[in-house]
């Protein structure tokens, strides 16, 4: 098997001429014959006993040619790509078999390849970077979240429901006198005041006591889903229980319960350090993202649309798999988010277009700067994967080969290189509207006369 010729016939399109030698092709024909002989009827022979020459004489010399070529095709094309250093981005098309037989195979095909890429000015890119700050208010808010996470729910007795309470309810909704789909639930926990239901629903529970059965009248919003939009409805309810969230006291005991802290001051100090570290990481990541976006814009190339389309398909598949892990499919996602499939596909395509430009830029910079994956890079990656999947490193190596990791490692190192050679600048101060200017086209109105105070107001002023 060999690549006889490769010629560029159009932008990003190459035509290949590939041959398969006689020995390899005849061997493939014999393999196909061995697989299929038991299913071929030949007069005078039991199934599977007719020689290859007899079958070819009866059914034609080429009876197994198509299957033999199909068997050899993938490795033949792969070998041709490797021999000609061809970076295909899609399956070959326009296959034309010129010769096929005992003397081997000669065929031509067209293939879409990666574009020629140039990237200028990838060093010294400028991006805004904020200086992370953590205030006392930030620390207090984070500690309040800790108290929330360590809260407990307790039942309330002897008073009606009020905003902030957690109520346990049964309800069933009726519109036009009929129960509607999705309008019934039992033992539902609902926090009053958060607006989780349609307007009026939660208000109807306020002031009610545990054990009460009652009705709540509501009107569905005009933008509600088809069938109930704008309709009046009644919910029949039963209030089982009223509960509240009880937060722990902010004292030294609370600090000790959370970890290696002796006092509330220790907790606040550690919290401030953690918040600052997190914000530094977020600032660094935001800066990196902005720089890499700029890098993608530096790419000069005629990118084949198939590259973008395939990337969008991969992204959609990955997104769909993530949804399915949460028990949701794409159609359900479209329904809940009010997104159409057309808008979703367009968004995925635009995102893929940006990603492909960035990936091409990273590959080109890596080539220009001689960035490669070293042995220690592979070992570090295997060690990381071992921790993630809780598997021994040797087992990980048996499942994931170096060729799978190489491009990710090179891309990571290239991103680091680009960011290290970038320049961080402070964010520009927002411009004040009409600062220091007077309106030229508006006549200045005189100040309004002050209304005389009423007797009541006068007395208040005197006081």
Give the bridge partners for 18, in sequence order: 3, 107
Q: Which of 61-65, 179-183, 253-257, 272-276 has the lowest mean pLDDT?
A: 179-183
CATH number of this structure's domain 265-420: 1.10.3120.10
Q: What pLDDT, on a 0 to 100 scale, did the predictor assign at position 432?
A: 62
- The band of 348, judged by pLDDT with boundaries at 50, 70 and 90, is very high
pLDDT, tens digit, for every residue of 442-456? 334 433 333 333 333
Task: Identify the bridge partners of residue 33 per DSSP, sorted by sequence position.
Answer: none
Q: What is the pLDDT of residue 229?
A: 87
Strands 13-20, 104-112: pairing is antiparallel
pLDDT surpassing 60 at residue 75: yes
Instruction: Quote the CA–CA distance of 438 and 442 in Å, as a whole number.
Output: 9
- For residues 319 and 347, what is the distance between their CA atoms, to the nearest angstrom? 13
Q: At residue 147, what are phi and psi to the nearest 5 degrees?
A: -65, -40
| Chain center to CA of 127 | 24
Of the pLDDT bands very low, low, confident and very high (cuts 50, 70, 90), residue 224 is confident
C-alpha 334/C-alpha 320 separation (Å) is 12
Q: Do domains 2-113 and 265-420 have the same CATH topology?
A: no
CA dihedral 424, 426, 428, 432 (to 10 degrees): 180
Please report the sign of the dihedral spanned by the C-alpha atoms of residue 40, residue 46, residue 49, residue 55.
negative
Q: Is the pLDDT of residue 438 over 80?
A: no
CA distance 342 to 354: 19
Q: Span 229-255, mean pLDDT?
A: 94
For the cut 70, the answer to whether the pLDDT of residue 461 exceeds it is no
Confidence of residue 1 (pLDDT cuts 50, 70, 90): low
- Tell me the Cα Rg of the chain: 36
What is d(CA 140, CA 148) in angstroms, rounded to the nearest whole number? 12
- Is pLDDT of 118 > 70? yes
Calculate the dihedral angle through the C-alpha atoms of 366, 367, 369, 372, rounding to the nearest 10 degrees.
60
Residue 433 has pLDDT above 50, yes or no: yes
Question: To the nearest whole number, what is the mean pLDDT of the chain?
Answer: 90
* pLDDT score, position 428: 81
pLDDT at residue 165, as a whole number: 94
Give CATH for domain 152-246: 3.10.50.40
- Residue ranges per domain, the chain? 2-113, 152-246, 265-420
Identify the architecture of domain 2-113 in CATH.
2-Layer Sandwich (3.30)
Distance CA 68, CA 32 (A): 6
On whether the pTM is more than 0.85, the answer is no
Which residue, chain included where needed, has tokens 């399109």? 13
CA dist., res. 168 & res. 192, Å (int): 11
């Amino acid at each position: 098997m060999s690549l006889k010729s490769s010629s560029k016939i159009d932008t990003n399109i190459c035509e290949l001429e590939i041959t398969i030698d006689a020995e390899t092709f005849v061997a493939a024909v014999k393999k196909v014959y061995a697989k299929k002989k038991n299913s071929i009827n030949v007069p005078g022979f039991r199934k599977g006993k007719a020689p290859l020459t007899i079958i070819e004489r009866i059914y034609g010399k080429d009876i197994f040619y198509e299957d033999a070529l199909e068997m050899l095709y993938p490795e033949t094309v792969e070998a041709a790509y490797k021999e000609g250093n061809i970076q295909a981005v899609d399956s070959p098309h326009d296959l034309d078999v010129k010769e096929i037989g005992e003397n081997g195979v000669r065929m031509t095909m067209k293939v879409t390849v990666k574009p020629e890429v140039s990237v200028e000015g990838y060093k010294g890119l400028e991006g805004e970077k904020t200086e992370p700050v953590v205030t006392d208010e930030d620390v207090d808010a984070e500690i309040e979240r800790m108290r929330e996470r360590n809260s407990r729910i307790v039942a309330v007795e002897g008073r009606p429901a009020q905003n902030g309470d957690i109520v346990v309810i049964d309800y069933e909704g009726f519109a036009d006198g009929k129960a509607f789909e999705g309008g019934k639930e039992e033992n539902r926990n609902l926090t009053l005041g958060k607006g989780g239901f349609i307007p009026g629903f939660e208000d109807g529970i306020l002031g009610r006591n545990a054990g009460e059965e009652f009705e709540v009248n509501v009107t569905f919003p005009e933008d509600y889903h088809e069938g109930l939009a704008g309709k009046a409805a009644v919910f029949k309810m039963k209030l089982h229980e009223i509960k509240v969230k009880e937060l722990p006291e902010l004292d030294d005991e609370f600090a000790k319960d959370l970890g290696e802290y002796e006092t509330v001051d220790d907790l606040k100090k550690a919290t401030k350090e953690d918040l600052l570290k997190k914000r530094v990481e977020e600032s660094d990541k935001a800066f990196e993202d902005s720089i890499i976006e700029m890098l993608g814009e530096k790419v000069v190339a005629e990118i084949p649309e198939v590259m973008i389309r395939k990337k969008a398909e991969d992204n959609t598949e990955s997104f769909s798999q993530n949804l399915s892990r949460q028990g949701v499919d794409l159609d359900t996602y479209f329904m809940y988010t009010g997104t159409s499939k057309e808008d979703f596909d367009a968004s995925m395509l635009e995102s893929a277009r940006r990603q492909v430009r960035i990936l091409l830029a990273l590959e080109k910079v890596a080539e220009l700067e001689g960035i490669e994956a070293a042995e220690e890079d592979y070992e570090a990656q295997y060690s990381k994967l071992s921790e993630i999947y809780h598997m021994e490193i040797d087992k990980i190596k048996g499942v994931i080969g170096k060729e799978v990791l190489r491009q990710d490692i090179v891309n990571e190192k290239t991103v680091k290189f680009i960011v290290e050679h970038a320049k961080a600048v402070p964010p520009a101060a927002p411009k004040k509207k009409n600062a220091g200017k007077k309106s030229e086209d508006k006549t200045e109105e005189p100040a309004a006369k002050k209304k005389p105070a009423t007797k009541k107001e006068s007395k208040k002023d005197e006081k």
